[in-house]
Structure 1
């Protein structure tokens, strides 16, 4: 007799994690579940591989990473189809995600030496007899705990940069998208078959916890703020450093001089892409009063035209079945507090789908304003001016990304948003900009992936001084004389006392 499984819900049977499509329940694949001992052995193997990988140097790693990039590019359609079959994401959205990931691999491979290569640093007067040298060394083994909503781009944002910096990686994909995670590992092994430089361990949350305690040299985590605190607690037991990309409640500010059609287009895409299951998605919009009504009308018109379904639709299913309850609660709570749906509403939640829902007159204490919804919903709020908009945008505990539409003051407004990233006259674009860091503040986490900061996140800085001559004013020795100390004081007062 066939076993009945809830579509999209991870199931462990006979030592295997079974992954299914969240709408149809069709099996996407199976992967072996790792025990704590398996996780420990994976880290041990990775440590041996890390020595070999670091020994290749920047040039050797660059060559192999660019070959992996090329393989990913040749197989975009194959991988996009798998992302759709496992997580329900529309194929077109999966393609955009994969192309962004490929760009990050390319940039990390090409720029690792420039960012992390050894260099001389200028000396200062107090130690003029020494030369100063800076080097960046890989941590060794980095554990990456990935999310399900962007199962290619988000993990590669850590994996690609950690590998370029010279580390081996043990990757724990989300239990909702393990097959995509294993595909990435297998594709890398085709390029680098010599050693397990990139490996995967699969399972539920206990496997992620085991990875935190398995002796990795750093953990990169992407997921909810609640889970992030548990990851940090586990890593704190061994003082294992972490980089955390947690939840968001990103907002768009629309100023009076904004291009309203462009703002509405970006807002709808930023809020509803991937069915709203985006950590940097626009969940709130604050619009200056004089353009509020026109902006809202354009947003509703665009959102109403979007299609929802499994095949050839703009919005796919909600990947994690439990998230449907959160989305429904946020909508009903807002309405109970006086909000008004101008599109959608409680009836928009039709498992496993949620139709676009736009709410107005939502009070600031509603869950739809203060908590991460992670669904295709948007609150649109009228404000008197930009100052009110900024105050309300910055009133939540999250600070991941954001968006500003306007002309004259847009850059000034962007600088005042409490977040790690802002897109001006666009939405979400910073995630694809490989030259810029990605990360948040507050309850959205800390540390950075992507860009030069992302490379440095996965390397230890090492400072070296080298004596190049005798000390004209010996300070760091017991052999100094009172007269020399007096000269040091005189020099310090002359140089720094003005």
Structure 2
């Protein structure tokens, strides 16, 4: 459900990046609006937590079925606000629905009360551990995957027993509203999942609203501002930021599959993918053959057909700046080049021999620009892949050494002999290190991210020797120390 609009409230529009046509008008929610939404969510959270795992699983299954029934309609809203192809939008929704299903079905096993060993010294105690919901979780989402990415927080937070207040990107507010509306009817109108719309001030208000946690997805620069706002109230944060993901091609790789993965990973969604491929390091022995394949596959693409425009208009200038910087420093344009990013619809670009100090190598691109550099061996490929402050995802193509190479990469996720596959596996946690953020969505880690652990020790019988009492004696302590020396001193 959406927050009730106040009289004479300021509004803004969302537009289709392909045509500039207005596709929706939405309120600019104020700090007071946000606070009211969080207060309503707190009441809904108490009801939701009281349903228990079975009740929540049943309701979330109803939501899942409703999302499947309305998949195409929601996909059309995604297309209208992002400009991405219809089937890309539908794929995004399919993956989000799969994650919702997994989270609902695995919440009890992951979070429910379980017994743990008390240890020999505390054998008189029964120890249990469980994970309780936080209450109200604030989610600040991105525009590039306006359903799949925020649902990595929303679905898991709901499955863990929390209510959610969601602030979608100002570029895709209609997607957020439609997503929340799809659950409102099933929840009987209860404010379990609310949307607040607006710009940075609305997001900052959510950070200061007293929510139990903020889950943010966006740029590293914006993440720092979000953290600063949350620090004022000691609100914990989950940060999923940008990446500069590398793809490593070993000498024994399936080159056609590797080239296909490089082009898809770099160009799909117009390159606007945080875990998309931006850098390729290919060993010398297969570099020419691999590069020829990449060039042929890229030349077969057409901007506006296989992928859409830059959803955020200013991103074209970022891509153009990186292309110009790389070419000025000696890079070779194999596909496209200077002038390819002069409009909102950026043409696919492949650059080779790009200096490692070029911004096309050091800074996140978020556009259909692929850097392909030769390296003498895998060791150098790993060194260059790790030579960045980012550490989100990576890809490795190698028939024999894929797992070995993956283990050497400083990042949160790796796909071996495929691309971005980790994001589609609900059981795997998703997140990065360094400038790519911290905390995890998806999987068991993602469920626990939106809970607080509670440890309980219950005394089953009294020990014959009192050690945590003023009745303690020297003889009793002596006996305890003797036992420790026997058990732990060897």
Shift of 1:27: 1.4
Quote the residue 1:4 is aligned against: none
Quote the residue 2:352 is aligned against: 360
1:372 to 361, 364, 367: 364
Shift of 1:127: 1.2
Distance 1:391 1:474 in 2: 57
Distance 1:70 1:186 in 2: 14
TM-score, structure 2 as length reference: 0.97
Shift of 1:120: 1.1
Query: Are residue 124 (structure 1) and residue 116 (structure 2) matched?
Result: no
Quote the residue 1:383 is aligned against: 375
| 8 A contact 2:320–2:342 mirrored in 1 | no
Query: Could you report, residue by residue, the CA deviation over 1:428-471 in whole angstroms, capped at 9, with x for unpaired residues?
Result: 01111001100000000000000111000001000000000011
Shift of 1:14: 6.2
Quote the residue 1:490 is aligned against: 482
Quote the residue 1:277 is aligned against: 272
Quote the residue 2:260 is aligned against: 265
| 8 A contact 1:17–1:202 mirrored in 2 | no
Distance 2:223 2:380 in 1: 31
2:80 to 64, 79, 85: 85
Query: Are residue 290 (structure 1) and residue 282 (structure 2) matched?
Result: no
Distance 2:110 2:404 in 1: 29
Moved more, 185-194 or 280-289: 185-194
Quote the residue 1:170 is aligned against: 165
Quote the residue 1:341 is aligned against: 333
Shift of 1:81: 1.2
1:72 to 48, 67, 71: 67
| 8 A contact 2:248–2:281 mirrored in 1 | yes
1:33 to 22, 28, 35: 28
Query: Could you report, residue by residue, the CA deviation over 1:402-436 in whole angstroms, capped at 9, with x for unpaired residues?
Result: 00000111100001110000000001011110011
Query: Are residue 399 (structure 1) and residue 399 (structure 2) matched?
Result: no
SS in 2 for 1:348: coil
Query: Are residue 149 (structure 1) and residue 144 (structure 2) matched?
Result: yes
Quote the residue 1:446 is aligned against: 438
1:474 to 466, 470, 485: 466
Quote the residue 1:252 is aligned against: 247
Shift of 1:193: 2.1
Consecutive unaligned residues in structure 1, runs of 5 or more: 1-12
| 8 A contact 2:9–2:27 mirrored in 1 | no
Quote the residue 1:8 is aligned against: none
1:300 to 292, 295, 309: 295
Paired residues, number = 483
TM-score, structure 1 as length reference: 0.96
Superposition RMSD in Å: 1.0
Moved more, 429-438 or 342-351: 342-351
Distance 2:400 2:425 in 1: 24
